[in-house]
């Protein structure tokens, strides 16, 4: 079966090619007369071309047909059409879908029974069915672990939620209650504030409070300018909006891998931008390598794909390492030389728990002479402030044109006004915020150490992580085969035998099989031994 | 040494897709520079170009005050905080979905049923429109849309999606109804231009017309969509603002009355609380599709515009309060009707005709008699005068893609009664002056042609000036605003 690309022009070309080819063939048989087979059918008209008998017409038709076929072939085998989406995560931003560029995505979106076609984006969702990760999430929601009510349930370690410090926020709220949502005196909002259209990219007071917060999170090493902030309903739309601003469909971003599975949905899906993974090696502790970036850039260039930006997370998701100042500088040199952008996803900046200091991209720009207009930072309050449900994210850009465009695009993903007011109130309590950041870090440190040491005793090694909610562990020695298949089998075993849902490295595009990501921030201290005991069940089998 | 932005940004970022360079937004800019305030700036521009519903805010405010447990920032409600702060499931809180479904049913007088499982969130109606376009069409595909239509569709439906909007022309001689002939013509035209039509986008009740669609027209549209195997997207964002007969008919009812005649996979509703409740700040957009694939896809896309759980919790409580919603809808309609009647009566007093409407937060008025030329330029000139001299930001018909010049949309629900009276006063003054000037011009002409004398300059001047003094209708030197 020859797959038909969904692009309209390719359709037209294919039709034209088919028509011309048929024409050429039938003319050829006509001239060739009787038997001779396919070979004769081609040679006779060519003879005709040479000997000038009706050859002029055929001499045009046959090369045309060949040319159309060549074009058709080349188009099919180039980058996939921008409208072919990858099946995204099941639930929440963090659950991965297996990202495979299936040729089935190229099928026409028309249903078989002549139903009205939906877009190819929607059609591929309908086709993706139940990937293993949907299965995992489903199991977690059907049989959720509870220390008392359901001690044998499935423990969810694949979703990034920070429950460690939620009580601090809850306590603040309890101490700072207002009489109603609308109490203006205590930072509530007036009904007209609720009832009229407010700037879609966030209230000025919120931008100011958030800029202040970001400065605190970066431990005072750099200050942020509220006028460079565009607020969005979560970091998810922030990344998408930035992608729409920096690249056209069919362009690409270089992304050091392993990377956050949600990027596939946030960047590829609707914006149609390709993500080119730039593998980082365990031997380098999964550090970013500029030569690897260089290689990936050149390979893309040879394929005819235009790279528009480098996207990286710092602290890294899933690995949890921090980038050094020199690496950030080298990265800036690289993007300047290539004339491209750099996007720093710093959503975990306030969740550092190691001994290293976090260096923001903004800090490097502060101290060094670099062209700022190519630098963009994505941030949000979901991770650092434990409030993912409230949907507060932002783009921080040094490029005024991006700020102008993104502020208009923010209308599709605006932060709810009552939530903005609540946050303004909370963030302005700087004393509380300082205490919160400190306590949160401490709790992260304790929980991380507990889990990592426990895993070590089981023979499971983790990469040293200095920030984020994850342990990036090497379970390759427990796989039956050192391959993706082996990893998937181990993942299934973890889910069904150990009843733990982890994120496998393939979902994060890790090229070395056997790495798994565990989120430790949904656990309490009592849960850790339970988790370790469960993992032991699988480990002991090998 | 900065990089010129245009070179290394995308087409989406550097193009005009945001639509803010159109006249629809110019008026807003005029307003922003000189906003009316009854005390601080009584001569400022009155905003009549923004369809906000502020008529029932007091009811909302009272409910919120009486129900502190619905907000997490009160001592009664704070216990809910930990449960919802971490909740980022894109299905949304079950109670929220149930409450929205119930409210939508109520706004349609219980004549339609909505399944909470099909309720999908998005970032306001803006986000809902864009998401539906992403779900139903590929770049280059087109949707047919009856004119006149809400200008921001050009941005919301087309900007990032690459989808086109092609007009179905509607005319004033049949009250801008959608006719099968024009629908078929628009469809044929698109097909002839080799453009793939994926569906039809309608707004019911209509913006800017303020009319509700009759059952027959809806049936026609549904039938057409079914026959041609294209989608029908109904923006029902004003469904709760129907203040007068004829009774509102939602496309959900058409589907329910005879499910066998229509393939549900083709029908989709877009909704929002911004107009009916008057709370655009909540950013609640809803997609309700009868097509499972679309529900699934839109739900995943809702990650780009989820409603804050704090807001979901509040609305689940508010819209779940049956007595409150019944009262709110009834009172809102009553106040809208009252406001509508006052405004249209005021306009009629100076001979300005409005299209007969029974819904919405605005009226669609014809200022054709005031146009110097019945052309787009004439309309633009009149509009500039109205914004800059009369100081009213009303929206010109051309920004709504209306094919006939002279129509304007004026919003009346985003102000108090005194401001509306001020606006009417300004309109009256303007119309009377314009009429007088027109009469003067006519009188002058008649004089010239009958006598065929060339009078000395002095006399000509007198002829032009005297009507103002002689006319019994216009008092001496009235204030400009």
A278 phi and psi angles, rounded to 5 deg: -115, 100
CA distance B64 to B220: 43
Highest mean pLDDT among A24-33, A130-139, B456-465: A130-139
pLDDT given at position A54: 60
Are B294 and A118 within 8 A, CB to CB? Answer: yes
pLDDT given at position B385: 92
Nearest Cα to Cα of residue B148 among B395, B371, B411: B395
Å from A107 to nearest chain B CA? Answer: 14
Q: pLDDT tens digit string along A346-385?
A: 999 999 999 888 999 999 998 778 889 999 999 999 999 9
Are A233 and B304 within 8 A, CB to CB? Answer: yes
Question: CA neighbours within 13 Å on the CB side: how many for B256?
Answer: 13
pLDDT given at position A76: 66
pLDDT given at position B2: 43
pLDDT given at position B306: 95
When comparing pLDDT for A211 and A150, which is higher?
A211
Under a CB-based contact definition with an 8 Å cutoff, are residues B314 and B277 in contact?
A: no
Q: How is B38-59 classified by DSSP, letter by letter?
A: TTTBTTSBEE-S-----TTHHH
pLDDT given at position A117: 81
Cβ neighbours for A456, distance < 8 A, ≥ 6 positions apart: A462
Q: What percent of chain B has pLDDT over 70?
A: 90
Residue B479: pLDDT above 50? no
pLDDT given at position B472: 39
Q: pLDDT tens digit string along A406-431?
A: 999 999 999 999 999 999 999 999 99
Residues of B serving a catalytic function are: 150, 235, 237, 275
A329 phi and psi angles, rounded to 5 deg: -65, -45
Interface of A with B in 172-231 (CB under 8 A): 173-174, 176-182, 188, 191-198
Under a CB-based contact definition with an 8 Å cutoff, are residues A345 and A490 in contact?
A: no
pLDDT given at position B15: 85
Torsion (CA) B431, B436, B441, B444 in degrees, nearest 10: 170
pLDDT given at position A22: 44
Å from A330 to nearest chain B CA? Answer: 19
> Nearest Cβ partner of A416 from B127, B134, B310?
B310
Under a CB-based contact definition with an 8 Å cutoff, are residues B262 and B255 in contact?
A: yes
Q: pLDDT tens digit string along A41-95?
A: 655 555 555 565 566 676 777 777 787 778 777 766 654 433 333 333 333 433 3
DSSP state of A150: B
When comparing pLDDT for A127 and A323, which is higher?
A323
> Nearest Cβ partner of A416 from B9, B308, B414?
B308
Residue A105: pLDDT above 60? no
> Nearest Cβ partner of A233 from B60, B65, B306?
B306
Q: pLDDT tens digit string along B353-385?
A: 999 999 999 999 999 999 999 999 999 999 999
Q: What average pLDDT does the structure give for chain B?
A: 88
Q: pLDDT tens digit string along B5-62?
A: 445 789 888 888 887 777 667 777 888 889 999 899 999 999 999 898 989 889 998 9
DSSP state of B74: B
Q: What are the chain B neighbours of A191 within 8 Å (beta carbons)?
A: 57-58, 60-61, 64
Q: pLDDT tens digit string along A272-292?
A: 999 999 999 999 999 999 999
CA distance A476 to A489: 11
B201 phi and psi angles, rounded to 5 deg: -115, 120
CA distance B293 to B201: 19
Q: How is A5-21 classified by DSSP, letter by letter?
A: PS-HHHHHHHHHHHHHH
When comparing pLDDT for A111 and B418, which is higher?
B418
Task: Compute the C-alpha angle B228/B232/B236, nearest 5°.
Answer: 160
Å from B173 to nearest chain A CA? Answer: 34
Q: How confident is the model at residue A160 (pLDDT cuts 50, 70, 90)?
A: confident
Nearest Cα to Cα of residue B241 among B274, B218, B275, B214: B275
pLDDT given at position A137: 78
Q: Tell whether B268 lies on the interface with A, counting CB pairs under 8 A.
A: no
Under a CB-based contact definition with an 8 Å cutoff, are residues B148 and B400 in contact?
A: yes
Region B408-433: mean pLDDT is 94
Three-state DSSP class for residue B243? coil
pLDDT given at position A50: 56
CA distance A290 to A322: 15
**Number of Cβ within a 10 Å radius of residue A30:** 12
Burial per residue of A76-89, b for 16 or more beta-carbon CB atoms within 10 angstroms, e otherwise: beebbbbbbbbbbb
Q: pLDDT tens digit string along A421-465?
A: 999 999 999 999 999 999 999 999 999 999 999 999 999 999 999
Three-state DSSP class for residue A504? strand
Cβ neighbours for A337, distance < 8 A, ≥ 6 positions apart: none
Task: Compute the C-alpha angle A61/A62/A65, nearest 5°.
Answer: 85
pLDDT given at position A84: 34
CA distances from A400 to A311, A396, A405, B19 (A): 20, 11, 9, 19
Residue A401: pLDDT above 90? yes
What's the first-to-final CA gap in chain B, in angstroms? Answer: 50
Q: Tell whether B16 lies on the interface with A, counting CB pairs under 8 A.
A: no
Q: pLDDT tens digit string along A475-497?
A: 999 999 999 999 999 999 999 99
pTM above 0.80, yes or no: yes
Are B310 and A400 within 8 A, CB to CB? Answer: no
A520 phi and psi angles, rounded to 5 deg: -105, 0
> Nearest Cβ partner of A166 from B71, B85, B123?
B85
CA distance A521 to A535: 17
By the 10 Å C-beta count (0-12 exposed, 13-18 middle, 19+ buried), B245 is classed as: exposed
CA distance B238 to B207: 8
């Amino acid at each position: 079966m020859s797959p038909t690309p969904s692009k309209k022009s390719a359709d037209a070309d294919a039709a034209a090619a088919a028509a011309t080819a048929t024409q050429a063939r039938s003319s050829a048989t006509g001239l060739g007369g009787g038997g001779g087979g396919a070979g004769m059918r081609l040679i006779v008209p060519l003879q005709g071309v040479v000997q000038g008998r009706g050859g002029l017409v055929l001499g045009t038709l046959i090369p045309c047909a060949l040319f159309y076929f060549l074009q058709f072939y080349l188009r099919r085998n180039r980058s996939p059409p921008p409208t072919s989406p990858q099946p995204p995560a099941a639930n929440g931003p963090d659950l991965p879908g297996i990202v495979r560029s299936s040729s089935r995505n190229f099928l026409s979106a028309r249903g078989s029974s002549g139903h009205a076609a939906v877009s190819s984006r929607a059609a591929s969702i309908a086709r993706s069915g139940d990937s293993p990760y949907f299965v995992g999430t489903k199991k977690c929601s059907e049989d959720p672990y509870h220390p008392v009510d359901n001690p044998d349930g499935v423990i969810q370690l694949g979703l990034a939620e920070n429950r460690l410090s939620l009580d601090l926020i809850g306590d603040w709220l309890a101490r700072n209650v207002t009489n109603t949502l609308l109490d203006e005196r205590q930072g509530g909002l007036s009904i007209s504030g609720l009832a009229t259209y407010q700037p879609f990219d966030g209230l000025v007071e919120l931008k100011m409070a958030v800029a202040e917060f970001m400065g605190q999170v970066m431990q005072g090493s750099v200050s942020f300018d509220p006028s460079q902030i565009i607020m969005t309903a979560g970091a998810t739309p922030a990344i998408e909006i930035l992608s729409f601003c920096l690249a056209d469909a069919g362009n690409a971003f270089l992304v050091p891998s392993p990377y956050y599975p949600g990027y596939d949905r946030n960047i590829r899906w609707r914006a149609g931008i390709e993500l080119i993974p730039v593998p980082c090696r365990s031997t380098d502790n999964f550090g970013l390598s500029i030569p690897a970036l260089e290689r990936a850039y050149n390979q893309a260039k040879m394929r005819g794909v235009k790279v528009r930006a480098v996207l990286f997370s710092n602290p890294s998701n899933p690995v949890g390492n921090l980038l050094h100042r020199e690496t950030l500088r080298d990265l800036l040199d690289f993007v300047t030389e290539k004339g491209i952008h750099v996007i720093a996803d710093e959503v975990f900046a306030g969740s550092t728990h190691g001994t290293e200091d976090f260096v923001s991209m903004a800090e490097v720009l502060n101290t060094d002479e670099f062209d700022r207009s190519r630098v963009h930072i994505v941030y949000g309050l979901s991770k650092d402030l434990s409030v993912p449900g409230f949907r507060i994210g932002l783009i921080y850009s040094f490029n005024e044109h991006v700020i102008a465009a993104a502020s208009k695009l923010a209308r599709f993903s605006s932060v709810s006004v009552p939530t903005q007011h609540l946050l303004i109130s909370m963030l302005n309590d700087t004393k509380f915020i300082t205490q919160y950041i400190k306590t949160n870090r401490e709790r992260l440190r304790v929980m991380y150490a507990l889990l990592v040491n426990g895993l070590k005793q089981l023979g499971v090694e983790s990469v040293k992580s200095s920030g984020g909610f994850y342990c990036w562990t090497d379970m390759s020695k427990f796989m039956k085969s050192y391959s993706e298949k082996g990893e998937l089998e181990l993942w299934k075993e973890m889910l069904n035998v150990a009843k733990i849902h982890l994120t496998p490295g393939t979902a994060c595009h890790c090229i070395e099989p056997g790495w798994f990501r565990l989120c430790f921030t949904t656990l309490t201290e009592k849960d850790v031994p339970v988790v370790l005991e469960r993992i032991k069940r699988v480990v002991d089998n090998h | 040494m900065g990089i010129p932005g245009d070179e290394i940004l995308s087409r989406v970022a550097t193009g005009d897709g945001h639509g803010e360079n159109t006249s629809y937004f110019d008026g807003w800019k005029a307003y922003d520079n000189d906003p009316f305030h009854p005390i601080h700036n009584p001569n400022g521009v009155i905003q009549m170009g923004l369809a906000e519903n502020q008529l029932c805010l007091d009811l909302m405010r009272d409910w919120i005050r009486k129900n502190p447990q619905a907000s997490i920032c009160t001592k009664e409600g704070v216990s809910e905080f930990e449960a919802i702060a971490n909740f980022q499931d894109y299905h949304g809180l079950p109670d929220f979905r149930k409450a929205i479904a119930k409210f939508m049913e109520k706004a349609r007088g219980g004549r339609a049923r909505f399944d909470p499982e099909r309720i999908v969130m998005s970032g306001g109606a803006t986000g809902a429109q864009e998401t539906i376009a992403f779900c139903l069409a590929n770049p280059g595909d087109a949707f047919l849309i009856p004119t006149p239509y809400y200008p921001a569709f050009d941005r919301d439906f087309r900007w990032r999606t690459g989808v086109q909007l092609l007009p179905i022309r509607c005319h004033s001689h049949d009250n801008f109804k959608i006719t099968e002939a024009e629908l078929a013509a628009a469809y044929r035209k698109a097909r002839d231009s080799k453009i793939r039509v994926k569906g039809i986008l309608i707004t019911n009740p209509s913006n800017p017309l303020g009319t509700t669609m009759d059952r027959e027209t809806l049936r026609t549209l549904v039938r057409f969509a079914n026959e041609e195997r294209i989608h029908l997207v109904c923006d029902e964002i004003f469904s709760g603002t129907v203040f007068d007969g004829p009774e509102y008919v939602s496309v959900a009812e058409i589907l329910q009355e005879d499910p066998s005649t229509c393939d549900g996979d083709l029908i989709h509703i877009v909704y929002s609380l911004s107009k009916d409740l008057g709370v655009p700040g909540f950013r609640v957009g809803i997609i309700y599709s009868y097509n499972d694939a679309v529900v699934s896809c839109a739900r995943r896309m809702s990650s780009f515009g989820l409603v804050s759980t704090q807001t979901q919790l509040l609305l689940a409580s508010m819209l779940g309060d049956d007595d409150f919603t019944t009262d709110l809808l009834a009172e809102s309609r009553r106040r809208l009707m009252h406001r509508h009647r006052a405004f249209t009566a005021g306009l009629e007093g100076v001979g300005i005709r409005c299209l007969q409407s029974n819904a919405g937060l605005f009226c669609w008025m014809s200022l054709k008699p005031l146009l110097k030329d019945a052309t787009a330029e004439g309309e633009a000139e009149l509009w500039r005068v109205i914004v800059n001299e009369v100081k009213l930001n009303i929206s010109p018909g051309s920004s709504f893609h209306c094919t006939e010049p002279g129509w304007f949309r004026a919003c009346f629900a985003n102000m108090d009664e005194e401001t509306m009276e001020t606006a009417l006063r300004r309109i009256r003054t303007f119309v009377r002056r314009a009429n007088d000037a027109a009469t003067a011009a006519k009188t002058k002409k008649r004089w010239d042609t009958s006598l065929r004398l060339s009078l000395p300059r002095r006399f000509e001047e007198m002829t032009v000036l005297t009507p103002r003094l002689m006319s019994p209708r216009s008092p001496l030197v009235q204030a400009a605003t």
